[in-house]
Structure 1
Amino acid sequence: MVKINDFAVESWMDAYETKCKYNIAETCCASISIDQLRELCDNKDRQVFDTSKILDYGAIRGSDDLRNNLARLYSAKVTTPLSPDSILTTPGAIQANYLTAYALVGPGDHVICHYPTYQSLYEIPSQLGAEVDLWKAKPENGWVPAIDDLKSLIKPNTKLIVINNPNNPTGAVLGKSFLQQVIDIASAKNITIMSDEVYRPLFHSISPLDKEFPPSLLSMDYANVVVTGSMSKAYSLAGIRIGWIASRNSALIETIAGARHYTTISVSHLDEQIAAYALHSSTVHALLARNIQLAKTNLALLDKFVLKNEDECEWVKPVAGTTAFVRFHREGKPVDSVDFCKKLLESTGVLFVPGSQSFGEEFKGYVRIGFVNQTDVVKAGLDAATKFIRKNLDDVDLAA
């Protein structure tokens, strides 16, 4: 029997997400309805669904409309367009990440994973029998890991390097020149890189004109790359459970497609129709503009919150994505993040995620805040959290 460790962040959300008043733990841009999605479309005559379609298994590897739209987005500003055949759809990015590991690694293999990050990115390779080392980022370096550390982690049996860009929980990004250094290291040993890009392209604090603006790893000149993405985060459509896997290496795609037959067969083509509608050129620009503006507006609220409580908290301000990693302390001593989050929830109805439980024991005092929810929810929740900090922080246990 496979040893399955508790998926800490998902267990926390499962326990408390429906019981809070102010959900500032959610990592999706504020979700929208199909009616709201239709309002964002330039062409009001376009149908979201073709209700005449027979509800069979549909296109096994993903609908043509959806894969064509994804290929168009990945092909922007690159010299070599991405073929739709280079994309497989999945039920959410969590399945995309699982399938990639399931297809590519096993006993005897070594995996290096960017950290802190979403737990399944390193837990699944471990469950599959691979040896996993964590490539640790530190706040004093802006949550960007050191290239020399990556070099020191490489082994003769290193099969896969996993990165998460933009990063959950920190909101940091790995810039273009940094990504090139990772590619140089991987290519020297023919190591595959998997890049979880579910928060792409939600860049709220870095301009595409910046020379270090991070491209998708797919657009950089290395064949042994797999990227994963999702409709959940930057595109506000978690409820349709659509993710994808993309690679310019046809051998990698075929290997993953073979594994996919055992787990997926095909994805709901009702969900795929909604995703294709959202990513169509008549809709996607307005959808992303809405979410980037929401992120900027709410990040300003979070920035004010940190300034108001600067004696009790500190952070590295996020650059992209929907999350921030904030450290709370009393006179410099980190609080017990689980006790803090539980007492905050009980007292105010505000839901944060405890970092030490959900991302690693070393993250004492840290909580993850998801700040791209509805602005009124974020504002009211942060105001309530400020009152709690000023009145009740002394009642919170310190970290052991």
Structure 2
Amino acid sequence: MVKIEPFAVEQWMDKYETTPGVLNIAETCAASLSIADLAGLAVPTVIDEKTVIPPADPLSALATTRLTYGAIRGSSTLRKQVAAVFDTGKDDSIPPLSPDNVVIAQGAIAANYLLFYTLLGPGDHTICVYPTYQQLYDVPKSLGAEVSLWKLKKEKNYVPDTTELEGLVKHNTKMIIINNPNNPMGTPIPRSVLEDIVRFAQQRGIIIFSDEVYLPLSHGGTLAPNPDEDETGLFGETKEPLEPPPPPPSILTLGYDKVIATGSMSKAFALAGLRLGWVASRDPAIVEAILAARDYTTISVSQLDDGIARYALSDPIRPSLLNRNIALARRNIRHLARFVGKWESKGRVRCAWVPPTAGTTAFIQFSTVNDDGIVSPVNDVDFCLEVLKATQVMMVPGSHCFGHGKHFQGHVRIGYVNETAVLVEALSKLDRYLENNVA
């Protein structure tokens, strides 16, 4: 029997996100859309000198579709659209990703599991960034692979330090696993660091796997232009915006074939209810191996999910969908930054973070100062439960869900790309809780 560790963050979400009246700022998806909302984002496009207006209801186009299994790899149109997502920002010298190199799966979580199940086993060694989504290192362990954690450091702004790879690699290292942008940190891996990782792996024939579910949502954080220039914030003003860092490219665009990337409709595209994701590689042998293993698991995705995903990633929808979510991220990160700024050093409270510039999550440490001036992280599990009970504000405890109870004491993960009104209300209640109970 395979031994696998409890998936702490998913179990926490399952247990508490249905709390009556919950203000869920633990959620990591951009604020979810209905199909009607999605249709409202449609913009007419010109194709072959003709204006094309997409259907107002994507379900109507599916009404006469016979519900067979459908295309095993995913529809050719959807795979072509996903390939275009990965190709965003690629250099002209890099050939376009072929749709044949894309496999559609039941969410990124299934895509990740499928590639691990296909490629890793006893005798293999992997290097995985840490902290990250627990699946990325515990599933390889459950399959018998050895895992070395590549620990991210605050003094490096939680960007992987490639000088450490030489000390982590082994003779049997088969895969380097990264998460770009990082969950829970919200920090992207810059292009220069990705290129260093590629050079290191290519010299040794090591596969690189990059979980890129948040990559399309590279928003620049508070360094990016404010979508609401006349906005008056809840907790005071932030600094003048600076030039944000350029978004990193997909690992698939850096000229190395033994790379794998996954993504989904859930996080950056605000459609988690579709349960649709993908895995892609420039190595045809890797793709064929994944497809062979897939025959023993899920066969195909739902034709309905495939059809709605095609609609969402179509030219009339995708740009406005991403623009909506990027604007939401830029608006909301300012509210969160004002909150953190207020509590960086107030009374007995200390609040610290590395401000995220991509994705939907922030990792914030709460500490208290005693009468002797000693700063101690809060018990993040107790803190999250007490806040939930007192205010209905739900957060994720960092040490429990990302540090196995040993690391990241006092940290909480906050998902800030939800509806602005929900975030503002939640931060207001958390603010009053700190004023009344901690400060």
TM-score norm. by structure 1 comes to 0.96
Per-residue deviation at 1:270? 0.3
Per-residue deviation at 1:21? 2.1
Give the counterpart of 2:175 among 160, 181, 188.
160
* Identity rate, percent: 50
Does 2:67 align with 1:48? no
> 2:50 maps to what in 1?
none
Per-residue deviation at 1:211? 7.4
- Aligned residue type for 2:160: P
Per-residue deviation at 1:2? 1.1
Does 2:80 align with 1:68? yes
- Aligned residue type for 1:176: R
Secondary structure of 1:112's aligned partner: strand
> 2:32 maps to what in 1?
31
Residue pair 1:177, 1:212 contacting (<8 A) in 2 also: no
**d(CA) in 2 for partners of 1:339 and 1:76?**
42
**d(CA) in 1 for partners of 2:301 and 2:252?**
23
**d(CA) in 2 for partners of 1:330 and 1:75?**
46
Shift in CA distance, 75/140, structure 1 to aligned 2, threshold 3 Å? closer
Per-residue deviation at 1:310? 1.1
Secondary structure of 2:209's aligned partner: strand
**d(CA) in 2 for partners of 1:132 and 1:117?**
13
- CA deviations 1:186-231 (Å, max 9, x no partner) are 0111000000000011011177x97753100111110000000000
Residue pair 2:190, 2:247 contacting (<8 A) in 1 also: yes
> 1:58 maps to what in 2?
70
> 1:347 maps to what in 2?
390
> 2:422 maps to what in 1?
377
Output aligned runs, 1:198-217, within 5 Å: 198-205=213-220, 213-217=247-251
Output aligned runs, 1:83-232, within 5 Å: 83-205=98-220, 213-232=247-266
- CA deviations 1:310-348 (Å, max 9, x no partner) are 122110000100000000000121000000000000000
Does 2:67 align with 1:22? no
Give the counterpart of 1:245 among 271, 279, 300.
279
**d(CA) in 2 for partners of 1:281 and 1:187?**
35
**d(CA) in 2 for partners of 1:263 and 1:84?**
22
Per-residue deviation at 1:77? 4.4
The structure in which a higher percent of residues are helix is 1
**d(CA) in 2 for partners of 1:211 and 1:151?**
27
- Aligned residue type for 1:37: L
TM-score norm. by structure 2 comes to 0.87
Per-residue deviation at 1:101? 0.7
Residue pair 2:89, 2:249 contacting (<8 A) in 1 also: no
Per-residue deviation at 1:68? 1.5
**d(CA) in 2 for partners of 1:142 and 1:45?**
43
> 1:13 maps to what in 2?
13
Pairwise CA RMSD of aligned residues? Answer: 1.4
In structure 2, the gaps of 5 or more residues are 45-52, 225-242, 370-374
Give the counterpart of 1:322 among 357, 360, 379.
360
**Count of residues paired in the alignment:** 393
> 2:230 maps to what in 1?
none
**d(CA) in 2 for partners of 1:71 and 1:2?**
34
- CA deviations 1:166-198 (Å, max 9, x no partner) are 010000111001001001110111000000000
- Aligned residue type for 2:275: R
> 2:239 maps to what in 1?
none
Per-residue deviation at 1:45? 4.1
In structure 1, the gaps of 5 or more residues are 395-400
Give the counterpart of 1:367 among 396, 399, 412.
412
Secondary structure of 1:88's aligned partner: strand
**d(CA) in 1 for partners of 2:87 and 2:390?**
49
